[in-house]
Amino acid sequence: MHRRIIAPGVLAAASLLLAIPASAASYSPGAPGIGDPYYPYYGNGGYDVSHYDLRLRYQPKTDELQGTATILAKTTQDLSSFDLDFLLDVSEVRVNGAKAAFTHSQQHELVITPKTPLAKGTPVTVVVRYSGVPSTKSAYGFNTWHRTPDGAVAADEPEAAWWWFPSNDHPSDKATYDVSVAVPDGTQAISNGTLQSTASQRGWTRYSWRQNKPQATYLSTLAIGKFDITTSTSEGGVPVVNAYSKDLGDNDGAARASVERTGEIVDWLSDYFGPYPFSSAGGYVPNTTTGYALETQSRVYYSPKQFAKGSNVSVVVHELAHQWYGDDVSLKKWKDIWLNEGFATYAQWLWSEHEGEGTTQELADYVYASHPADDPFWTVEPGDPGADKQFDDAVYDRGALAIQALRKEVGDDAFFAILKGWPKEHAYGNASVADFQRYAEKVSGKPLAALFGTWLFQPSKPAASAGRAASLVKAGTAVAQPKSWKKIEAAHGGHSDGAAR
């Protein structure tokens, strides 16, 4: 085999031909995960995305999705290759205009090797052409593309993007979006932000949506189906776009009677959290069978089940509160989930008090008293619950209790200053629980390590003495269930009614 013997001179000539820079040794593959211990393969290393342009076509009859994604990014290291998170079938990838090699690996990695390695700190344009039937694609044994009788929905946490666009799928890499979807005439496509245009041609209508503020990948949503779309403007001037599936049946009235309150609730929440952070608000109710709602940015996803027992404004308050706590200020790592769920639940407590259905203090007393010390509820640390307990009741209820304890500790003036100041402090960015503690200490002038330790990180029920300091009732004392309780609980991820992914 003559190929085995290669003279050193030939090797040298070959590497010259490849024109790899002198520092080629520093070029390495980007990591297949962004470094989140809860989800080691979510997100990717080596680059940062600033914009996703998604040009799609979807056929409800067959569940076929076709698309071209144009991704604007900047490298954060010298890259020989990099990953996107994606499950559909890819036909072509271009990096800075040149065709790139690609392969699927692990559960949901698309590994891209550009013709020329990419130097750190340079802008990169990646074009991915793809197609596929999302309902046939799984990772880790699950699929969260929701088929409906007349279309489909992408909305889940912590992941949903893999089924409809290639991305750096982690909330720490936020980007703006243009999402343009062609669907058969008579069908609508709903996404985040504002509807820029609709155009019909040869039996297909194209809906073009724009999200002009940074958005986490899991907060990007797509719904295709036959919807009634309502538009209005809140008293405070926020444009509202809502959409209801035309086949909600008996849930139709209750869904509209809840979600049509969006403008009023956005204005009410603005008094606590500051100006609404996005150019549009609203929600949509498709005919899905899941149990949860999701705070998809500026266009909340509601399952019809949220309204099966009648109207539920409390869940609307929860999801709209996330627009500030979760969407505007997003978590740094998934362990920081308390910054989302604790505050969205606390907003429901404030609404309960506003509606005369139980004060925040009565709700805190009820949570404290209704879980005995040996209840596993207290073993969950809302400040770092673990991936399998990320949406546990304790993250929501013990999480909101911790916020009431903070309020008692710092007093109402400092507390409400913190509540309103936080979204401004980290507008359109990311933050951690530790960042929140530091901020609350700065605003209140009080050391809070012990308080946060007890209420967010102690794997057992805080002692009655700590409870009394927070003016919570003693363990074991019977406390009546506040009127608002059942609706507040209904906003939790749907795990209590058995509707998982």
d(CA 98, CA 126): 9
292 makes contact, choosing from Zn ion, ligand ARG, none, with CB < 5 to 8 Å by partner type, with ligand ARG
Q: Indicate the residue type of 369.
A: A
**Residue 127 burial (CB < 10 Å; 0-12/13-18/19+)?**
middle
- Taking CB under 6 A as the binding criterion, the range among 48-56, 192-200, 467-475, 487-495 that sits at the site for ligand ARG is 487-495
Give 118's strand partners.
Answer: 79
Which one of Zn ion, ligand ARG, none is in contact with 501 (Cβ closer than 5 to 8 A by kind)?
ligand ARG
SS (H, E, C) 357-422: CCCHHHHHHHHHHHCCCCCHHHHCCCCCCCHHHCCCHHHHHHHHHHHHHHHHHHCHHHHHHHHHHH
Binder of ligand ARG out of 95, 293, 410, 451 (CB under 6 A) = 293
How far is 367 from 380, CA to CA, in rounded Å?
Answer: 14
Query: Cα angle vertex 380, ends 374, 386, to 5°?
Result: 150
User: Contact letters (x/-) for ligand ARG, 124-163, by CB under 6 A?
Assistant: --------------------------------xx------
405 CB-near residues (< 8 Å, 6+ apart)? 364, 451, 454, 455, 466, 470, 472
Find which of ligand ARG, Zn ion, none residue 109 binds, CB within 5 to 8 Å per kind: none
x/- track of binding to ligand ARG for residues 333-372 (CB under 6 A): --------x-------------------------------
Cα–chain center distance at 34: 16
Q: Which of 85, 295, 327, 393 binds ligand ARG (CB under 6 A)?
A: 295
Give me the 334-363 binding string for Zn ion, x by CB under 5 A, dash otherwise.
-------x--x-------------------
How far apart are the C-alpha atoms of 64 and 4, rounded to whole Å? Answer: 48
Number of residues that bind Zn ion (CB under 5 A): 2
Closer CB to ligand ARG, 288 or 404, in the complex: 288
Contact flags string 14-53 toward ligand ARG, x per CB under 6 A: ----------------------------------------
How many residues are recorded in the chain? 501
- Separation of alpha carbons 154 and 163, rounded Å: 8
Q: Which is nearer to Zn ion, 90 or 339 (CB)?
A: 339
Q: Of residues 246, 354, 468, 501, which one binds ligand ARG by CB under 6 A?
A: 501
Q: To which residue do tokens 């009634």 refer?
A: 228
Say how far apart CA 419 and CA 424 lie, in whole Å. 10
Find the Cα–Cα–Cα–Cα dihedral 76, 169, 280, 242, rounded to 10°.
Answer: 170
The partner in contact with residue 293, picked from ligand ARG, Zn ion, none with C-beta cut-offs of 5 to 8 angstroms by kind, is ligand ARG
Nearer to Zn ion, 226 or 492 (CB): 492
The token duo for 238 is: 């926020």
Nearer Cβ to ligand ARG, position 79 or 395? Answer: 395
Nearest C-alpha neighbor of 62 from the set 142, 156, 164, 135 = 135
For residue 315, state whether it binds Zn ion (rule: CB under 5 A).
no
Shortest Å distance, C-beta 337 to ligand ARG: 8
Helix axes 338-354, 313-321, angle to 10 degrees: 140
Q: Does 313 bind ligand ARG (CB under 6 A)?
A: no
Q: Which is nearer to Zn ion, 90 or 337 (by Cβ)?
A: 337
Is 494 a binder of ligand ARG (CB under 6 A)?
Answer: yes
**Within 13 Å of residue 204, how many CA atoms lie on the same side as its CB?**
12
Structure tokens at 330: 């997003």
CB-wise, 292 or 415, nearer to Zn ion? 292
Name which of ligand ARG, Zn ion, none residue 384 binds, using a CB cut-off of 5 to 8 Å depending on partner kind: none
Of 168-176, 197-205, 253-261, 290-298: span binding ligand ARG (CB under 6 A): 290-298
Q: Is 391 in the site for ligand ARG (CB under 6 A)?
A: yes
**Interaction site with ligand ARG (CB under 6 A):** 156-157, 292-295, 318-319, 341, 391, 491, 493-494, 501
**Interaction site with Zn ion (CB under 5 A):** 341, 344
